[in-house]
Amino acid sequence: MRTPMLILLVFIAAACGTAPSLDTETFELQHVDAAQAAVLIEPYVFADRPNAPGSVSHSGSMMTVRETRDNLDKIERVLQDIDRSRPTVRLHFQLIEADGAGPVDPAIAEVEAELRKLFRYEGYRLLHEAVVGGTEGSHIEQVVGRQDDADAGYILIAAIGSVRASADSGTVQLEVGVRNPMRGALMTTVNARAGQTLVVGNAQIIHGGGTLILTVRPEFVR
């Protein structure tokens, strides 16, 4: 009759012995929101672990985590990767009108040779240009042209995605486009190198049926 009780006591002792040892560590974040970081490290915090649940709390720029040493080391590596300064991405937009033959427009001399490789129009002229800036995750809209006339104005659109930067070089994922409230929009997603001018595309959204060409050149600003 004593054997079942002995087995039960051994089982309980063994179960208690399997609980992992937990440490507590506080991380100070410099560039990322602590609430956002807490979501990203959730896979390494086992709050439902029997006998030894992990936990995370945050206040201001400080985040405190209670977990196993192995998981704390993993969390530290994740935070080192995400808690870093993000360069400002400066986007140089040009709206170019494709029209009849004419002299070379010096404002677009650098891209005209590329335009002639891509299209068969006889001439090109700069219609509008603008410079906007943002960081990874930014969504930007900029009105160019006549703001009092929807038929003659345009809205430049940019969503800055993943940025991979080193010094002044690197790449950025962009969703860029231009919209005219009366005649439609041109939108596309591109991966661009810093300093590279991309011909995004063309669309007939100019009043009177003319063709509009959009170019963009990203730069990184520290």
> Which of 31, 56, 82 represents a domain boundary (last residue)?
82
Asked whether residue 92 falls in the same domain as residue 179, the answer is yes
Asked whether residue 147 falls in the same domain as residue 50, the answer is no
Q: In which domain, by residue range, is 155 found?
A: 88-221
Q: Is the pLDDT of residue 16 over 60?
A: no
Asked whether residue 140 falls in the same domain as residue 183, the answer is yes
Work out the pLDDT band at 53, boundaries 50, 70, 90: very high
Mean pLDDT of the chain: 85
Count how many residues are written for the chain: 222
Task: Give 15 or 57, the one with higher predicted confidence.
Answer: 57
DSSP H helices, the chain, are: 3-17, 34-40, 69-82, 109-118
Q: Is the pLDDT of residue 99 over 50?
A: yes
CATH number at residue 61: 3.30.1370.120
> Which of 53, 82, 111 represents a domain boundary (last residue)?
82
pLDDT score at 27: 95
Asked whether residue 57 falls in the same domain as residue 108, the answer is no
> Which of 49, 82, 115 represents a domain boundary (last residue)?
82
Asked whether residue 106 falls in the same domain as residue 160, the answer is yes
> Which tokens belong to 181?
């409230």
Asked whether residue 63 falls in the same domain as residue 126, the answer is no
Asked whether residue 198 falls in the same domain as residue 107, the answer is yes
How crowded is the C-beta side of 124, counted as CA atoms within 13 Å?
Answer: 26
User: Listing from the earlier edge strand, what are the strands of the sheet with 88-99?
Assistant: 123-134, 88-99, 211-221, 198-203
Asked whether residue 44 falls in the same domain as residue 105, the answer is no
Asked whether residue 117 falls in the same domain as residue 210, the answer is yes
Q: Which residues contact 144 (CB under 8 A, 6 or more apart)?
A: 93, 95, 128, 129, 130, 153, 154, 155, 156
State the total domains in the chain. Answer: 2
Distance in angstroms (rounded) separating the CA atoms of residues 21 and 135: 41
Asked whether residue 72 falls in the same domain as residue 103, the answer is no
pLDDT score at 12: 46
What is the per-residue pLDDT across 130-143, written as a single tens digit (0 to 9) for each?
Answer: 999 998 889 999 99
> Which tokens belong to 114?
């590329």
pLDDT score at 67: 96
Asked whether residue 42 falls in the same domain as residue 63, the answer is yes
Q: What is the pTM of this model?
A: 0.65
Asked whether residue 107 falls in the same domain as residue 38, the answer is no
CA dihedral 171, 173, 189, 100 (to 10 degrees): -40
What is the per-residue pLDDT across 102-153, written as a single tens digit (0 to 9) for each?
Answer: 677 888 888 888 888 888 888 898 999 999 999 888 999 999 987 666 667 8
